[in-house]
Amino acid sequence: MKLGAYTFQPEKAQGFDFQVLRVKPETGIRLVPVQEMYSNVAVFADNVAVRNHPDWISQSALGPAKMGNNNFNIYWDMVCATQPEHRAEQLNYIEDVNGQSRGVWLNSQYFADHGHCICPRCMMLWKKSDLGWLEWRRRAVTEYVALVRERVKKELVLGIQPDPVSSYERYGVDFDDLAAYADIFNVVMFSKNYATPWYWEMLTRGFKKLLKKPFYVSFYVFGPGDNPKDVPSVSELLTVSARCARAGADGFLYLADGANQLRNFQKAAFAHTELRERLRSYGDQPVQEFLDYVTSWKSIV
C-alpha cells in the first residue's frame, strides 16, 4: 500500500511515499519539473494548444471537444489525438520532463470521448487503415503510448478514466494494450464528494479484475480555488480509501492544490480517532496498512 501526494504546486507534501506534480495540467500551462517529484502531463487535453491552433480541436458529430459542450464530460479543450505536430511536440516535452523528474504520469493520452475524432485527417487515416472504426482508434492510442514508452526511461504511469466497461468504445483505450507499456496505472476517481463509497469500491473491484498491472486510485481533496464547503469531507475520504483498499487498489493519491491543503487533510484524518477505529473492522491487511499510514500522520504538524 503506497500513498502519494498529487499537487498543482511544486511543493513536496510530507508524510507520503512519493509526490506527483501537475507540470502540465489540462489548462495547458507548464511548470518547471522538480527532480524529486514525478511529473504529470495531460497530453491531448490542452487549452493552450487549442487556443493557439483552433483547427487542432477534436471533432465529433455532437460537436468539438470544447469546454462547455455538454454532450461529453469534458472540462477543457482537447486536441485531436492524431494531430501530428502536437503528438511530436508532446513526445519531446515528455522526454524532457522525464529527464528532470523521477518519472512521468500521463493523463488524456487517448481520444476525447465516444465519437471522436472525425476531422478530415482522422477519417482519411481510418479509411487507409482497413480497420473497423473502434479498432483504428485503439491502434492510434496504443501506437502513441508505445512511442511515449521509448522516451520515458524512468517510471511511466498511465492515467485511465473511471470506466472499466466502456473505455475502449469511448477513448480507444484497451487495458491489455496499455499494460504492455505502463509500469502502473492511475485510475482517476475525482469527485467533490464520496458520500456513497459503494460505487467507488465497485469500480475498484472492476479494475482489479481487468488490469494486468498494479494500479493506484486518485481521490480529490482540495482543488485550486475550491470553497472548503464544496470539497469532500475527511470522513468520506477515509471511508472511501478503506473500502477501495479492501477492493484491491495498490495505493492512493490525494489531489490538492498544494502541500498546505494536504497537511490540513492529514491532520484532520489523524484527528478522526473514532472513525479510524471503526474502519479497522472493514478488512484485513490492505485496510490495516492504510489505517497504519494514517496513524503515522500523527507527526504531521
Q: 80 or 240: whose CB is closer to Zn ion?
A: 80
3-state secondary structure of 42: strand
Among 41, 78, 104, 117, binds Zn ion (CB under 5 A): 117
- Collapsed DSSP state (helix, strand, coil) of residue 44: coil
In the stretch 11-40, what mask flags binding to Zn ion with x, by CB under 5 A?
A: ------------------------------
Q: Does 287 bind Zn ion (CB under 5 A)?
A: no
122 counts as binding Zn ion under rule CB under 5 A: yes
Do residues 21 and 38 make contact, with C-beta atoms less than 8 angstroms apart? yes
Q: Does 141 bind Zn ion (CB under 5 A)?
A: no
Please tell me the distance from the alpha carbon of residue 83 to that of residue 3, in angstroms, as a whole number. 35
User: Are residues 111 and 172 in contact, defined by beta-carbon separation less than 8 angstroms?
Assistant: yes
In angstroms, what is the minimal distance from the CB of 35 to Zn ion?
A: 36
Candidates 87-95, 109-117, 259-267, 293-301: pick the segment binding Zn ion (CB under 5 A). 109-117
Rg (C-alpha) for the chain, rounded Å, is 19
By CB under 5 A, what part of segment 62-91 binds Zn ion? Answer: 80
The stretch among 114-122, 161-169, 196-204, 229-237 that binds Zn ion (CB under 5 A) is 114-122
Query: Which residue matches cell numbers 524529486?
Result: 36
* Residue given cell 474502519 in the structure block: 279
Tell me how far, at minimum, the Cβ of 121 lies from Zn ion, in Å.
5
Q: Under a CB-based contact definition with an 8 Å cutoff, are residues 187 and 207 in contact?
A: yes
| Shortest distance (Å) from residue 124 CB to Zn ion | 10
Task: Tell me the number of residues near Zn ion by CB under 5 A.
Answer: 4
Binding residue (CB under 5 A) for Zn ion from 119, 145, 148, 173? 119
* Grid cell for residue 11: 511543493
Instruction: Give which of 84, 146, 76, 82 is closest to 111, Cα–Cα.
Output: 82
Site string for Zn ion, 172-211 (x = CB under 5 A): ----------------------------------------
Nearest approach, Cβ of residue 58 and Zn ion (Å): 6
**What is the closest distance, in whole angstroms, from the C-beta atom of residue 53 to Zn ion in the complex?**
13
Whole-angstrom Cα distance, residue 71 to residue 218?
Answer: 25
Q: What number of residues does the chain have?
A: 301
Find cell 484485513 and name the residue: 284
For the CA atoms of 203, 208, 211, 212, what is the dihedral angle to 10 degrees?
Answer: 170
**Taking the complex as a whole, how short is the minimal distance between the CB of residue 119 and Zn ion, in angstroms?**
3
* Residue ranges that bind Zn ion, judged by CB under 5 A: 80, 117, 119, 122
